[in-house]
Chains A and B, each alone.
Chain A
Amino acid sequence: MSVEEYHRPGSLDEALALRAEHGSSITVVSGGTLTMPAINEGHIFPGKVMDLRSLDLDFVDESYGDLTLGATLTYSDVIDQVDDPLLTTAAEHCGSWAVRNIGTVGGNLFGPPTVGDFATALLTRDAEVHLQSEDDERWVHLTDFYTGPGTNVLEDDEILTEIRLTAASSDTAYLKQTRNQEPAPSVVTVAANVERDNGSVSAARIGLNGAGPHPVRAVEAEQIVEGNELSDGTIEEAADAATEASDPPKDALASDWYRKKMIGQHLSKALAQVANGGHA
């Protein structure tokens, strides 16, 4: 069975009306790089699909001090238009050139557990997502957006329209481990965004992919490094804490046991990179 209705609304109002009318029975796509493969493979048979690409949500807005990315901004758009090493590095790791030209930052938030490589970077920037319906709108922290593997707080009448981020600090790192040479899915991805004051960490945000049912913050590791210098001992303690707190998925790429080992390894490398003044 193929797609019966393919809607390409030309305005947000039209899109929200469609969403209100059809609810969960309409599949919403942003870039389609998750949905089209599933349709091609015969894994899903969505009767109705709504494509957001004609809504002019492919914008970058820095006018209010924060950085706001429209949901349909592609990874290539991020690389070309956003002056932010952590985000551009993350975007470069989201598939091949020909896929990055289609896949979007909004769509990345709806992937299965190991597809959140851009979201992992967003978590280090206290990202919030804007969820809009015909009658209401709300901002939700990305940490509160996910509710489980492939599930989230989006209501059946809502559309995710934009993502708002805080400014990056100068010390960042981004590491992605794959089984094969990239482009390839993540075994483990680590993103770090660290502010330091005279060598001591004043604020740390660490995002992990492959450490839980969706991209997560390594809160335990953040608490260990905050207030301390990034010494070898502190880094080891933080890596151990992140490893202990993780609950990785297991799939054809890697076992949960292996991912748990790799989380500590890659977090150590990322924090050492930050300690040495590197950036993503």
Chain B
Amino acid sequence: MSLKTIELTVNGKDVEESVRPMESLQSVLRDKLGQTDTKIGCEQGGCGSCTVLVDGEPVVSCLLPAEEVAGEEITTVEGLTENGELHPLQEAFFDNFAAQCGYCTPGMIMTSKALIDRNSNPSEDEIKDALSGNICRCTGYEPIIEAVDMAASELTSGGGD
């Protein structure tokens, strides 16, 4: 088995990393780049906890070989924070108690980011549909849906991003 060096852009920063054949993006982010904000859940594409954005599109990073996204813009939840200021989505999750154990939260926030980037005023059904691949076993989902709605309102009224 030979390692291959690839270039990635993670949260605006260019990095070079040696990857194993077909090594998942999740593995490279967490184990090699120390981006433990991206969580490991089922590793089957079923729980959404490893969701990151690739060129603005949500993907489950456990199913995507890192080599496939070389040269593309990868955003994890840490990349939403600017100059120490939380993104309105992060603020809204905090304010609504939308994170309990917090394990699903990075994936929830990244999918929500992709949603409100496309739809600045999503309905409750649209939020539920977008987040249907992100599983939470603490909150019962209601605080999460409210948080996304609040963040969308905040952003629409010119509150950030």
Contacts and interface: CB of A to CB of B under 8 A. Distances in A.
A2 B3 CA distance: 12
B51 to A, nearest CB: 5
Interface stretch (B19-27, B74-82, B150-158): B19-27
A95 B51 CA distance: 14
B60 interface: yes
B73 interface: no
Contacts of B59: 98, 101-102
A199 B144 CA distance: 48
B63 A36 contact: yes
A49 B45 CA distance: 19
Interface string B49-67: 0010000011110111101
A242 B109 CA distance: 44
Interface residues of B, number: 27
A17 B79 CA distance: 41
Given A98-B58, A98-B60, A183-B132, A2 B1 contact: yes
Given A40-B43, A96-B133, A102 B111 contact: no
B83 interface: no
Interface string B117-148: 00000000000001011100000000000000
B63 A32 contact: yes
Interface of B: 1, 20-22, 24, 43-46, 48, 51, 57-60, 62-65, 67-68, 111, 114, 130, 132-134
25 contacts: A2-B21, A3-B20, A4-B21, A32-B64, A33-B63, A36-B22, A36-B63, A36-B64, A41-B43, A51-B65, A51-B68, A76-B57, A96-B48, A96-B132, A96-B134, A97-B58, A97-B132, A98-B45, A98-B58, A98-B111, A101-B57, A102-B60, A102-B63, A182-B132, A183-B46
